[in-house]
């Protein structure tokens, strides 16, 4: 993961880190919550970008963007089939969407469906830890996440604080005790994933 060249950032037309602009010191630079790398700060966009996994986090939630509840979250047909299969086996379904929150307040759940939650989580690892704690062993976590890729880019969302790549999500799942069961093809700006608590 660390073999990416510095030039990769230049190639993406990013501006040089402007630490003086915000009077930042090395201490204020953030560690990437996904891979632990030192994130680079870019002004004036006030965005922190990890040069290793390309995770981006904004200093402040976006004020202008699309409202996430206006976006229809519809998995591709072939993928809906897998989701329905999981859902048909389990009665306990927590369906959560759009609201940033960590704790569910319930335990031993068999299935949690989280639509479009990740862009809004200030502490993205705590989000996964809380869902891990709420699920029973073998329980399912179904996610839909707007992502940035080479060919597709999710539109900015009001209140968004994280900009993720689908690779970032796999890493977060793995890091927080989930195994990936299935994910949609990476050809759209929404990625759908089914994961299971190990």
Q: Can you give the binding site for Zn ion, defined by CB under 5 A?
A: 32, 34-35, 37, 50, 52-53, 55
Nearest of 177, 198, 196 to residue 90 by alpha carbon = 196
Distance CA 183, CA 129 (A): 20
Nearest approach, Cβ of residue 19 and Zn ion (Å):
19
Who contacts 59 (Cβ-Cβ below 8 Å, separation ≥6)? 46, 47, 48
Nearest approach, Cβ of residue 99 and Zn ion (Å):
26
Nearest approach, Cβ of residue 1 and Zn ion (Å):
8
> In the complex with Zn ion, which residue's Cβ is closer, 35 or 111?
35
> In the complex with Zn ion, which residue's Cβ is closer, 48 or 114?
48
Distance CA 164, CA 175 (A): 15
> In the complex with Zn ion, which residue's Cβ is closer, 50 or 194?
50
Nearest approach, Cβ of residue 136 and Zn ion (Å):
30
CB 112 within 8 A of CB 104: yes
> In the complex with Zn ion, which residue's Cβ is closer, 4 or 62?
4
Distance CA 31, CA 123 (A): 12
> In the complex with Zn ion, which residue's Cβ is closer, 110 or 165?
165
Look at residue 92 and give its three-state secondary structure: coil
- Please say whether the dihedral angle defined by the alpha carbons of residues 78, 80, 86 and 88, taken in this order, is positive or negative: negative
Nearest approach, Cβ of residue 184 and Zn ion (Å):
23
> In the complex with Zn ion, which residue's Cβ is closer, 5 or 77?
5
Nearest approach, Cβ of residue 156 and Zn ion (Å):
21
> What are the structure tokens assigned to 107, written together?
């335990």
> What are the structure tokens assigned to 57, written together?
């986090």
């Amino acid at each position: 993961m660390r073999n990416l060249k510095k030039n990769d950032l230049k190639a993406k037309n990013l501006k040089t880190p402007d630490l003086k602009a915000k009077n930042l010191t090395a201490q204020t630079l953030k560690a990437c919550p996904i891979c632990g790398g030192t994130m680079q700060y870019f002004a004036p966009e006030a965005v922190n970008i990890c040069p290793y996994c390309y995770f981006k986090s904004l200093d402040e939630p976006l004020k202008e963007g699309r409202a996430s509840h206006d976006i229809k979250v519809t998995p591709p047909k072939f993928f809906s089939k897998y989701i329905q299969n999981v859902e048909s086996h389990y009665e306990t379904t927590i369906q959560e969407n759009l609201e940033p929150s960590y704790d569910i307040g319930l335990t031993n759940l068999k299935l949690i469906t989280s639509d479009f939650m990740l862009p809004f989580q200030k502490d993205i690892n705590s989000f996964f830890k809380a869902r891990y704690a709420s699920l029973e062993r073998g329980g399912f976590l179904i996610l839909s996440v707007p992502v940035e890729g080479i060919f597709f880019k999710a539109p900015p969302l009001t209140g968004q604080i994280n900009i993720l790549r689908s690779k970032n999500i796999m890493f977060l799942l793995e890091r927080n005790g989930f195994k990936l069961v299935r994910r949609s093809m990476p050809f759209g700006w929404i990625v759908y994933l089914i994961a299971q608590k190990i």
